[in-house]
Amino acid sequence: MHLSLSSSEPAEAEKGGERTLALMDEPKVTGTKPRTSWPRKALLILGFLFALAAIALVAMAVSQNKPLPKNIKYGIVLDAGSSHTNLYVYEWPAEKENDTGVVHQVEVCKVEGLGISGYSQDTEKAGLSLQHCMKRAQEVVPEQQHRETPVYLGATAGMRLLSLQNRSMADRVLSAVEKTLRSSPFNFQGARVISGQEEGAYGWITINYLLGNFKQPGWLNFLPHLRSSRGTSGALDLGGASTQITFAPDQELIESQENSLHFRLYGKNYNVYTHSFLCYGKDQALRLKLATDLQSTQNGSLLDPCFHLGYLRIMNISDLYTNPCIANGEQQLPFTQLHLQGNGDYQRCRMTIQKIFNTSYCPYSSCAFNGIFLPPLQGEFGAFSAFYFVMNFLNLTTEKSPVPLDKATSAVESFCSRPWHEIGSSDAGWTLGYMLNLTNMIPAEKPPTRPLSHASYVGLMVFCSLVLVAVLLLSWLTFHKPKCLQKGLI
Ligand SMILES: Nc1ncnc2c1ncn2[C@@H]1O[C@H](COP(=O)(O)OP(=O)(O)O)[C@@H](O)[C@H]1O
Ligand SMILES: [Ca+2]
């Protein structure tokens, strides 16, 4: 049996609850057509309105908090090394620029030719050599963002040596590269020679930024006392003209002030040791070794265990003595040419190379060599630049875990013993850290963060809205129970 109001009553239903309930008191029974009851209609309308309200609330939460379209920013750094220049383009989402790990390298362009210090006799060429990579950068960075994209050039040990040797020549080289960079559509921020200390510091920042070591889990923001001093990784950078070692030592006191760096990053203090060994990059160290060995030859012929068997090279002695790394011993030599002949012997090579590291004196509690302070090594190290190139060449970079030293040694040993005729001829570095620093992307204090991600926020809003609707509906049903319900008629 169906209950319904009579056909003359629908108009009454619009007159309000009181009237409707009064009508409900005297339901009429029609034996034929089933009709929707008055209160059920009202309930349906109310339910519909609640659902509508819930949908509107959810839609508002979603649309109001929807992430804005990605606004990407770019930065360009030129690493003017002693052997060559590389141009790096980085990008990051503008709204997250103070987060960690959001900057990505999107392009690396290797400049053809020499490092900029190699153009000291023809300085204009130093600038011209960069043009090709600057054009490449213009293709990578969207045109509308060219004017706001900063471009920096940092020159390292090759230019440090040139500055020591001839300051005005080094200035002319820098002016030439500056001219090229200024003429680009980007926002030129400067071309300068960075110090060895800076190079070490930025390499360390790069490594630890890429490894996510500055990041603390979001929930720890609420419990600052639990924020641990998670370990950092040391950085080893083998360049062509200098080598940097940087790490956070165990001991608080760094005995030599010039080796000491203090950072405050994301609300945490770091005491870091760094040293840049000028002249101990891979290329300059080899020159040093040759110059040292030459002192003990009578006629300029050198049988060198550090070159492959069958390797032959003749070089002018004057070319060897071209920079401050090698003391002026050239005048005392009775010959003008060096005849180099390889005999590929790893062990003997090691012995001859050790001559350029003086470990006979140390004015500190511990030293590296040449009287340079070095605290006890601490933690793991990330090694890049020529360390990587050499290991990569020996096929030792594909392994997931670090390669044991004896395996690396035996790979070098076996490579060195091969005859010369058999042999055919991601970047980590200081540049990312340099850009992070110059664009203020690594703040001293941890930036305030939202406690919830966008997805969790929307989810929570939806859940709360549904609970709210359910509670309202239940309360309404409890306190304004339609009489038909009270009588159990529906
Ligand atoms: N792709 C490569 N393969 C092997 N060695 C490389 C490669 N690229 C660079 N190198 C070597 O790495 C060193 C990089 O030094 P560089 O950065 O130019 O000098 P510095 O940092 O001392 O100013 C040089 O010895 C260079 O010969
Ligand atoms: Ca370098």
ipTM: 0.98
Where residue 233 falls among pLDDT bands split at 50, 70, 90?
Answer: very high
Pick from 49-53, 61-65, 276-280, 291-295: least confident: 61-65
Percent of the chain with pLDDT over 70: 82
Residue 18 pLDDT more than 60?
A: no
Residue with tokens 């940092």: 154
Query: Average pLDDT of 39-46?
Result: 74
Determine whether the shortest distance from the Cβ of 162 to ligand 1 is under 6 A. Answer: no
Residue 344 pLDDT more than 50?
A: yes
Between residues 447 and 105, which one has the greater pLDDT? 105
Q: Chain-wide mean pLDDT for the chain?
A: 84
Q: What angle do CA 62, 64, 70 make, to 5 degrees?
A: 90
**pLDDT tens track for 236-276:** 999 999 999 999 998 778 899 999 999 998 888 999 999 99
Residue 19 pLDDT more than 50?
A: no
**Which atom of ligand 1 has the smallest separation from the CA of 158?**
23
Between residues 94 and 286, which one has the greater pLDDT? 286
Ligand 1: residue whose CA is nearest its atom 1: 389
* Chain-centre distance for alpha carbon 109: 17
Determine whether the shortest distance from the Cβ of 78 to ligand 1 is under 6 A. Answer: no
Determine whether the shortest distance from the Cβ of 157 to ligand 1 is under 6 A. Answer: yes
Q: What is the pLDDT of residue 278?
A: 98
Query: Average pLDDT of 134-138?
Result: 98
Percent of the chain with pLDDT over 90: 55
Q: What is the pLDDT of residue 7?
A: 36
Which of 243-247, 263-267, 457-461, 470-474 has the highest average model confidence (pLDDT)?
Answer: 243-247
Q: Are 134 and 87 in contact (CB under 8 A)?
A: yes
Residue 23 pLDDT more than 50?
A: no
Where residue 229 falls among pLDDT bands split at 50, 70, 90?
Answer: very low
**Which atom of ligand 1 has the smallest separation from the CA of 237?**
21
Residue 484 pLDDT more than 60?
A: no
Determine whether the shortest distance from the Cβ of 239 to ligand 1 is under 6 A. Answer: yes
> 166 φ, ψ to 5°?
-155, 95
Where residue 4 falls among pLDDT bands split at 50, 70, 90?
Answer: very low
280 C-alpha to ligand 2 centroid (Å) = 12
Query: Average pLDDT of 31-57?
Result: 67
Query: Average pLDDT of 23-28?
Result: 39
The catalytic residue among 9, 107, 148, 199 is 199
SS3 for 47-95, per residue?
A: HHHHHHHHHHHHHHHHHHCCCCCCCEEEEEEEEECCCCEEEEEEEEEHH
Residue 425 pLDDT more than 80?
A: no
**pLDDT tens track for 360-388:** 999 999 999 999 999 999 999 999 999 99
134 C-alpha to ligand 1 centroid (Å) = 21
Between residues 279 and 4, which one has the greater pLDDT? 279
> 419 φ, ψ to 5°?
-65, 150
Residue 185 pLDDT more than 90?
A: yes
Where residue 10 falls among pLDDT bands split at 50, 70, 90?
Answer: very low
CA of 390, nearest ligand number: 1
Task: Give the tokens for residue 110.
Answer: 């290797």
Pick from 47-61, 268-282, 458-472: least confident: 47-61
Between residues 484 and 152, which one has the greater pLDDT? 152
**pLDDT tens track for 406-417:** 999 999 999 999
* Helices and strands in the chain, H and E counts: 16, 13
| Residue 107 falls in the annotated catalytic set | no
Determine whether the shortest distance from the Cβ of 37 to ligand 1 is under 6 A. Answer: no
Q: Does 240 carry a binding-site annotation?
A: yes
Q: What is the pLDDT of residue 186?
A: 98
DSSP 129-198: TTHHHHHHHHHHS-GGGTTT-EEEEEE-HHHHHHHHH-HHHHHHHHHHHHHHHHTSSSEEEEEEEPPHHH
What sign results for the dihedral spanned by CA atoms 57, 58, 59, 61?
Answer: positive
115 C-alpha to ligand 1 centroid (Å) = 10
Q: What is the pLDDT of residue 439?
A: 85
Q: Give, for ligand 1, the residue of 82, 83, 86, 195 to mutate: max count of ligand atoms closer than 8 Å to Cβ.
A: 83
First and final C-alpha spacing in the chain = 12
Which of 205-209, 422-426, 451-455 has the highest average model confidence (pLDDT)?
Answer: 205-209
**pLDDT tens track for 288-331:** 999 999 888 888 999 999 999 999 999 999 888 888 998 766 66
431 C-alpha to ligand 1 centroid (Å) = 14
**pLDDT tens track for 68-80:** 566 899 999 999 9
CA of 243, nearest ligand number: 1
Q: How far apart are CA 153 and CA 172, in angstroms?
A: 15
Determine whether the shortest distance from the Cβ of 281 to ligand 1 is under 6 A. Answer: yes
Q: What is the pLDDT of residue 191?
A: 98
440 C-alpha to ligand 2 centroid (Å) = 23
**β-strand partners of 192:** 154
Q: How far apart are CA 305 and CA 343, in angstroms?
A: 5
Q: Give, for ligand 1, the residue of 82, 173, 323, 397 to mutate: max count of ligand atoms closer than 8 Å to Cβ.
A: 82
Determine whether the shortest distance from the Cβ of 158 to ligand 1 is under 6 A. Answer: yes
Determine whether the shortest distance from the Cβ of 160 to ligand 1 is under 6 A. Answer: no
Ligand 1: residue whose CA is nearest its atom 3: 389
240 C-alpha to ligand 1 centroid (Å) = 5
Residue 477 pLDDT more than 90?
A: no
